[in-house]
Structure 1
């Protein structure tokens, strides 16, 4: 029998059951495909600021390089413009060289800076992939597109049933609500993955251990309070917003206006960075909030797309 001809209550019962299956399966697949988990040892202490920034996300690598060059007086802020000071730089990383070259070439738009730094970022990624901290490209594609497949099928079938119900003048409110839930689940499950579950743990441990550094950065009255390594590490972990000094605030407003003033971007780790268990496909890139599966199907029942007469 064609499911679209089922009665509303019958279709809704099956749809809700399949929705729960889709969410549980999606969470399990994302968790599995994101690679290793477990407790971190002390190996994270060997990570340099650019490795740490890469755990936070590729944008943070460029932000960290700019912050370090600014701290060392290689670049300066002239209003909203980033310009070279003429000071001879000591460029320790391919990312710094790419960022310095972008500034010297007056390629100052953030997208262009990221594009110039992308080859250097790719070089940094490989060791972290080997350490099980970042997801490699093939696995990242699977983790992005495989978990939402069942949700896509449910969404298509639900929308088709809604159209049938409307054509037969049947109530479709609850089915429409669950179709929205299906869309949200598909969106969350299809977000890009970046860190592995072990990478989440390492980043969380680093942010926890470096709270004193965060407080030092936020209370700094002059650049001399911190050396360039510590400042770069603070930006890598907590974002440009952690440094309240005028030039750094101008830099933040120029390249990362989404970061709240006086705050920091440490929310990018969260408990679900990259889709931790319990989250309906939360992301890793800089993950924001995520919806748990338990919140997706909490509504009561009512009318659904009409079935056959």
Structure 2
């Protein structure tokens, strides 16, 4: 088995110097079309795949992103290590605009999204107590520090439905009562689906602004946010470019068991499993469903 790095993020992140054999490919999935074609290539001997989460030109809302199709498509291509890059607001003064946060926990407040590959006829329960891979997150942290950006290791990401931003009352509750650190709209159910697909998953939250709890929030100029987004994208490209040297092309089992998340998760008896569901799960769960 060969390692392949997947990157889920904005369209500009795949524009990396030295990426060889870059090409856009179509991937068909049983869950519909992914957000866009997937840009594949080789960097420093390691295969890579880049998927613009919202599609090129930002055509998908946070709710309409086809999360299941995206994860399935990356799994079909052979992605083993998935890095999520996304813009967020911050609930912490010390997590300032321009900083990166390596997320290790989530609070899922989304309500209108399909959150699992498994359904009637093939039931499974995976653990997401630790929803990100500590090994991959540590390497991403190392790569982020090398860019010169201020990076915080560990943080709780509040995933809201959107597309509207929080009210001030909600923002204060998420910050003061629930203890969240950053807020965004896209990492859920992405992280849950990556776990079901037995991928190592790491989340990089790029802070663009303070959420509405902050007394100076109203004074933030949109031009400052755009400038921060541009700088964040440049740092994200540098971070991603450093990952092949840290991971290398040789694959080894994840020490935290991310690549074996389905070992004891399937609940439906073999003779009761729906053939249609088995067919749909050929990529996501094929490792444990072969012969069944």
TM-score range, shorter chain: under 0.3
The answer to which structure, 1 or 2, has the higher relative contact order (CA under 8 A, 6+ apart) is 1
Bigger share in strand: 2
Q: Which has the larger radius of gyration?
A: 1
| TM-score under structure 1 length normalisation | 0.22
| TM-score under structure 2 length normalisation | 0.23
